[in-house]
Amino acid sequence: MELSSILPIARQELIVAIRNKWTVIFAFVFGSLVLAISYFGTVTAGEIGFQGFNRTTASLLSLVLYLIPLVALMMGTQSFLRSEGEDEMLFSQPVSRSAILGGKLLGLFAAMTTATFVGFGLGGLVIATQTDAEGFLGYPAFVLLSLILSLVFLSLSMLAAVASKRQTKAFGIALLLWFFFVILYDLLVLGGSLLLKERSANYFIFASLFGNPVDIVRVAGLLSMKGGEVFGAAGAALLKFLGGYTQAFAAAITSLILWTVIPILISLRIVRNQDI
């Protein structure tokens, strides 16, 4: 890889994301979410005040699964979309198209990482000072999974932008991807499993887990908290078929890596043969 070409592009992408206030806004949103969920999480039970990491992480996980894919898709599509004069200047340099896409992806991921670390980090720090540290180990794992989820959806946004030349089409595809993975997919799997017999339904649910990165992160997050009782059908099927936490977690991470790498490879293949 041409690291000496990728790094300046990544650096510029990070500077642009910070100057455009994307990073600051997301850091603020993430931090506020952590504090709000931790402080008001038990308000329905008539209590108010900071909860420990275990409860906060479990509640945050559900919200992050909606929010991070959307943020990554919008931010990524905006960046990977073509701007005629800018791209002609950039692509006319003696740098490969792979390095340009790679640099942009790295820069965007650095911006997401900064927002995540600052937001969740400061929020976590407040919780740590206000409560005991029980369940603290699950929190960094949750932050790490959030970052992996953002990387998956940044690479999907790259594919959406590269495959569609028009801005409206690219954002349309990005929103469709979000709706499919975050909302529709689980309903389809649930509907499909109802049509099958129990044994086949279990296999179907197990296999379907790998078809949606959001579900994989949900299950991996619950695995990292060892919350067996709240796994749901997919998590239970994963544990049952793979035989343990370690194997299940390894399978989840491997499939998330594939969910990142495959869209990147397809994007590179498309962009190599495209006219700028």
Partner 1 sequence: MISVQHLTKAFGKFKAVDHVSFDVREGETFALLGPNGSGKSTILKSIVGLIKPTGGDITIGGVSAVKTPQASRKALSYLPQRVGFHDCLTAREVLEFYCRLRKLPISRIDDVVHGSEFNFNGFSEKRVAELSGGMKQKLGLAVACLADAPVLLLDEPTVSLDPAGAIAFRAFLKTLKEKGKTIVFTSHVLADVEMLADRVAVLVDGRLTALVGIDELRQRIAERKQSLEEIYLDYAKTA
Per-residue interface string for the shown chain with partner 1, residues 29-68, x marking contact by CB under 8 A: ----------------------------------------
Using DSSP's 3-state secondary structure scheme, residue 48 falls into coil
Task: State which of residues 94, 191, 197, 229 lies at the interface with partner 1 (CB under 8 A).
Answer: 94
Q: Is 16 helix (H, G, I), strand (E, B) or coil?
A: helix
Decide if residue 1 touches partner 1 (CB under 8 A): no
In sequence order, the 6+-apart residues with CB closer than 8 A to the CB of 128 are 53, 136
What are the strands, taking DSSP E only, across the chain? none
10 binds partner 1, rule: CB under 8 A: no
Q: How far apart are CA 121 and CA 134, in angstroms?
A: 17
Q: Which of 15, 176, 184, 230 binds partner 1 (CB under 8 A)?
A: 15
Read off the tokens for 128: 């740590």
**What six digits make up the tokens of 170?**
């690219």
- Residues 247-276 binding partner 1 (CB under 8 A) are 273, 275-276
Orientation angle between helical segments 245-272 and 97-130, nearest 10 degrees = 150
- Whole-angstrom Cα distance, residue 20 to residue 223? 36
CB of 92 to partner 1, least distance (A): 4
Task: Verify binding: residue 101, partner 1, rule CB under 8 A.
Answer: no
Among 45, 46, 85, 187, binds partner 1 (CB under 8 A): 85
End-to-end Cα spacing for the chain: 22
Under the binding rule (CB under 8 A), the answer on residue 95 touching partner 1 is yes
Closest approach, Cβ 155 to partner 1, in A, equals 22
Minimum distance from residue 50 beta carbon to partner 1 (Å): 37
Interface residues with partner 1 (CB under 8 A)?
A: 4-5, 7-9, 11-12, 15-16, 19-20, 83-89, 91-96, 273, 275-276
